[in-house]
Amino acid sequence: MTVVGLGDVSAAARALMAVPEAQRAALMHRLLDEAGQAARFQRCHGRVHPRLGNGTLMERALAHPLAEVAGPGDPAYLAALAQVIEAVLDWRCGKQAG
């Protein structure tokens, strides 16, 4: 996966908010896995993955429905941001839980 920026985290959080809470961990795992696959493909082949895109978390998140956010202080949005950040940190440290 490429470098993760604020836009990536925000898009992923909005994607998580669009699914029931019980499905969020699985979706987050899928987003990270697919972004990683796409980034590896791009490094090996010198072009974007035909289905998974450019290796960014944002690209994978934008492939899913996104929830609207009431504002930057929206508690549901902040909780989703925290879940995304925790998952990215775990993924980067090799703690890729299923």
Amino acid letter, residue 9: V
* Total-model pTM: 0.90
72 pLDDT more than 80? yes
In the predicted model, what is the mean pLDDT of the chain?
A: 92
Q: How far is 28 from 88, CA to CA, in rounded Å? A: 9
Residue range 3-17: average pLDDT? Answer: 96
pLDDT of 1 reads 77
Q: How far is 64 from 61, CA to CA, in rounded Å? A: 6
97 pLDDT more than 80? no
- List of residues 6+ apart from 31 with CB closer than 8 A: 12, 15, 57, 60, 61, 64
